Amino acid sequence: MDRQRPTRYRQVTQTTPRVRPKYITVDNIDNDVDPERERLNAAILRILSWLAVLGILTLLFLTAARFSSDDGRDPYGCAAITNEGRWLESNSNSTGPLQTWQPLGCLLHHYSRKDITACLPKRRILLVGDRGIKSIYRATVEKLLPGKSQEEVDDVSKFTSEGENGVTVEFIWDPYLNSTLLTQELKHWDNGSVSAQYQADPTYDPPALFIVGAGIRFAKRGFDDNPLRAWRESLDRVERHMRWGPRPTFLGGKDMLMLAPVEHPAWEKLDKDTRKLMMPSVAIDMGKYLHSRATVQGLDVIRAWEVTSDDKVGLVVSNHVYNKYHSKATEEDGIELLSEVAARRVDMILGLRCNNHLRELGESLEGNCCVLPRRLTWFQNFVMFKGALAVLVLRILWWLHDYILQEATIRNLQNSWITYPIALFYRYGTKRKVLSRVWALTLTLILCIYTDRSPVFYHRERMWSSTHFGKLLFCFLVAGVITLRGAAVNTRPWELDKRILSEWRGVVLAIHMISSYLGGPTDFSTFALVFLHSVEWSISLLTTNSPRTGASYFARKLVNLNYVVVPMVFMMQSEYAFYQLPALLSMWFVVVYLTVKIRNWSNKDLEWYSGKLAVSALLVLGFFWERGVFDFILMILNIFCGIRWDASLIRGLVFQHFGAAYAGMGAGWAYIRLFLTSKGKQKSDMEFNTAIVAFALGAFYCGLRALGYEWLDDWHTFSCIARIAGFGVVRLWFLGGRKGQSLFLAWLGSAEAAILAMMNHVWLSADGRGVVDLGFWGFDDEGAGWNTVFWTLVFLYLCWVVGDSREILVNWVLGFKDGLGDAGKSQSRKKTDAEDDDGRLGMTSGGSQNDVELGGPQQTPPLHPRPPIGGYLEKYASEGVQRTVCILVAIWILNWTTT
């Protein structure tokens, strides 16, 4: 293929020196704003900001007051995991199984065989009692040995899991708590733990968990004249070996002897003969007695669950959990525990014993009940205390700078000890606006670690609901429609479409946020974000002059995507790969940049560009192929940098959204070729034909989805592109077309980096596994709704504060002069040779748009003469290479010293 060169180089005579680009100032009458109105808007914005800060402080104060008054005796959720909670499905009208048990303020981990064997290697779990305890025995065996039939489990009273560290589960049938085996096991226990003399006995294997429970047979008519007294006597033989006294704040991580509550059967499911023999009042009195003993004496009792007539979960009795929609759909006889309830009961017991131990072993847990907070690293300690205080002191120095300098000038004290520290700080420090942004980011990081890691905030389970998803998405879209505004008259085509892309990213980001908040799938939103970013990057690289898309553009885009994620990694002690979308976007940006920039002189030819995409795709596939270059690089990073990423997770994400990046690069090329370089009737026809194709694609997908074709889920790339195309046509046809832009959704798209980095720690909790709950709205669905509304507003405000700091922080990190001018004001721009006189764009090796504004020195003049650039830290290593090396070295040191 011949190397094609731009038209401006095709000259016959001797070339003339290139003339310096002219600056053309475009007056925009639509942006002319009265200065008084500007000042009024700024004052209103400042007042609203102060009110927002006051509201956040009020919510945090109420949360701390709730923790101090209600949760002071159980700060780690060890009592809550066994005593308090509710079924999130209890208010649902479905007949599906009850699966999601929500302890008060924490998350319940669902244990697997791997978790149990890691926590209790070569140990045993002993269960003694009646049919209710046998239901727990079955559920435990099912977790250790999946696939065992119920008949096989009922015939054998002891099972051991496979493997070197096998765990043994043993059941002793003792419905009256008077067997010899129970007496022999209890004699080794004193005050809730194994006596010291038996701990050193090699012949005795103490159980890691010892669960005893019975009583329903005492409630039969004719068993005894005083069945409650007989049951108490049997229970006393167990109680004298249990722990008594005030309940400690932390119970986890040690062997335990616990009581299970007396069953409260589902009376309507019992057969007539059995129902006549049972006395419900006796079972209820037994449950109340256990409740009082646990409250007064401090016995460790796994509280029962009760669903009352109005579907509210109580805490008194009832092992058999049911509601008016679920009860008749089960096959159990009304006495044994439901299988789902028994499984959650096992998770409760194991969580109390193993949660903290597994966390210390480095295992990843979805639950955080009865877990001690992690010890702060030196970086967390520095940021939360010393760093925040240092930034505050420096900001105060800046606030006092002008006043002290004025007083020194009046009194002729320029060189005195009063002004010397101020001058020294100005010489070596950073600028005031940089400090204010660093201060905002520091406070946000501190709030993230408190909400996600401290026991002060409650954590609530996520529960998917298509109805809730539709309501929340409708709220976001209404806010987007309300903030629709027309574009300026002289806005250029690519600038306009770039804003539309930012708005579409906002819509996709709203879908991603809501899906994550409700625990739904995020495959489509991830694909759409990668696709839209690839379109924008490709257009920018194909239509921008090479000097503007060099190393500075490359570094700027990467820092834009990661300026919040990187400090968040060290602040939260997480892995960079955990933040999937920022990591995925950073990787695909590198691929797009290299694909477009390498040998870019013939990008306008379809054959050449298609060949580059094919070669790039093959190289990426080879790079991430199993046991290939990527695994070798991860091994090097693990050895020299201490980075331990999950290779299978990253490889799965790359391959799943592989088509999004290359479809975006193709769409970007087609956009330039078909729209930006055409005009008149040709452009109109092209837009109409494209709209018809996109609408047909979206309608075809919707029709197949309505008909219930499940194979659409397997065609991930096609289904995602069809949905994006359908939404684009509807958006451009019915909501103001290209001339209308939603300010809210466009802002949401621009704050993407802050939202994706902070979402899992300040809006969600437990690294995105749950939802942050302030706890004082109420422990029900209504309270959860109010918490969602108010805390979402807080989260969006924090994203606005951190997102507003992006330009200044990125310029400061990269060593550029920070451009602090308002983006809405008319700005001067260069007219390049690649732009035709009529304002159209020509596809050359570069292009014409100022896709990246490096920032100009648009600053208000200071009160006193100052140097043109900031302090020493502002000027150091401004060339970029040294600064990049310093950043990488700092990350390397932090990675070794904070893990």
Q: What is the DSSP string of 523-560?
A: HHHHHHHHHHHHHHHHHHHHSS-GGGGSHHHHHHHHHH
Please tell me the distance from the alpha carbon of residue 432 to that of residue 801, in angstroms, as a whole number: 16
Domain count, the chain: 2
Q: What residues form DSSP beta bridges with 256?
A: 209
Please tell me the distance from the alpha carbon of residue 580 to that of residue 564, in angstroms, as a whole number: 14
Asked if 543 and 843 touch (Cβ cutoff 8 Å), the reply is: yes
Say what the pLDDT of residue 272 is: 78
Q: What is the CB neighbour count within 10 angstroms for residue 784?
A: 17
- CB-based burial, 186-208: b 16+ in 10 Å, e otherwise: bebbbebbbeeeeeeeeeeebbb
**In a shared domain, residues 432 and 518:** yes
Asked if 639 and 633 touch (Cβ cutoff 8 Å), the reply is: no
Asked if 336 and 134 touch (Cβ cutoff 8 Å), the reply is: yes
* Whole-Å CA distances, 494 to 499, 500, 501, 616, 751: 9, 10, 10, 26, 21
Burial class (CB in 10 A: 0-12, 13-18, 19+), 283: buried
Say what the pLDDT of residue 527 is: 95
Instruction: Give the alpha-carbon dihedral of 389, 392, 398, 401, to 10 degrees.
Output: -70
User: Is residue 772 a part of any domain in this protein?
Assistant: yes
**In a shared domain, residues 525 and 642:** yes
**In a shared domain, residues 432 and 356:** no
Asked if 746 and 502 touch (Cβ cutoff 8 Å), the reply is: yes
Please tell me the distance from the alpha carbon of residue 763 to that of residue 216, in angstroms, as a whole number: 45
Q: Is 310 helix (H, G, I), strand (E, B) or coil?
A: coil
Please tell me the distance from the alpha carbon of residue 350 to that of residue 119, in angstroms, as a whole number: 9
Please tell me the distance from the alpha carbon of residue 271 to that of residue 335, in angstroms, as a whole number: 11
Please report the DSSP string for 233-249 in residue order: HHHHHHHTTS--SSPPS
H/E element, 125: strand 124-129
**In a shared domain, residues 318 and 437:** no
Instruction: Give the CA angle between residues 31, 36, 37 to the nearest 5°.
Output: 55
Residue (of 45, 57, 59, 208) closest to 121 by Cα position: 208
Please tell me the distance from the alpha carbon of residue 813 to that of residue 833, in angstroms, as a whole number: 32
Say what the pLDDT of residue 408 is: 53
Tokens linked to 455: 């026991």
**In a shared domain, residues 345 and 423:** no
User: Is residue 388 a part of any domain in this protein?
Assistant: no
**In a shared domain, residues 301 and 424:** no
- CB-based burial, 717-735: b 16+ in 10 Å, e otherwise: bebbbbbbbbbbbebbeee
Say what the pLDDT of residue 856 is: 31
**In a shared domain, residues 330 and 430:** no
DSSP symbol at 578: G
Residue (of 783, 656, 798) closest to 715 by Cα position: 656
User: Is residue 94 a part of any domain in this protein?
Assistant: yes
Domain boundary among 340, 360, 380: 360
User: Is residue 3 a part of any domain in this protein?
Assistant: no
How many residues can be counted in the chain? Answer: 899
**In a shared domain, residues 355 and 473:** no
Residue (of 95, 105, 106) closest to 70 by Cα position: 105
SS3 track for 635-670: HHHHHHCCCCCCHHHHHHHHHHCHHHHHHHHHHHHH
Cβ-Cβ contacts under 8 Å for 29 (sequence gap 6 or more): 489
Hey, what amino acid is at 635? M
Q: What is the CB neighbour count within 10 angstroms for residue 885?
A: 11
**In a shared domain, residues 484 and 596:** yes
**In a shared domain, residues 333 and 435:** no
Give the domain extent around 277.
Answer: 80-360
Tokens linked to 857: 């020195």
Say what the pLDDT of residue 761 is: 92
H/E element, 880: none
Domain boundary among 326, 342, 360: 360
Please tell me the distance from the alpha carbon of residue 535 to that of residue 413, in angstroms, as a whole number: 59
User: Is residue 645 a part of any domain in this protein?
Assistant: yes
Instruction: Give the alpha-carbon dihedral of 287, 290, 295, 301, to 10 degrees.
Output: -100
HSE-CB at 734 with a 13 A cutoff on CA atoms is 8
Say what the pLDDT of residue 792 is: 94
Hey, what amino acid is at 862? P
**In a shared domain, residues 503 and 578:** yes
Read off the CATH number of the domain in which 326 is found: 3.40.50
State pTM to two decimals: 0.84
Say what the pLDDT of residue 128 is: 94
Could you read off the pLDDT of 664-713 as tens digits, one per residue?
999 999 888 887 777 777 777 887 888 888 888 888 888 888 887 777 77
Residue with tokens 């966390």: 359
User: Is residue 1 a part of any domain in this protein?
Assistant: no
* Whole-Å CA distances, 617 to 613, 658, 662, 720, 751: 6, 9, 8, 19, 30
User: Is residue 846 a part of any domain in this protein?
Assistant: no
User: Is residue 245 a part of any domain in this protein?
Assistant: yes
Residue with tokens 């790079």: 623
Residue with tokens 């090796």: 845
**In a shared domain, residues 356 and 471:** no
Instruction: Pick out the chain residues at pLDDT < 50.
Output: 1-3, 5-16, 20-32, 95, 305-329, 410, 413-415, 546-547, 819-870, 877
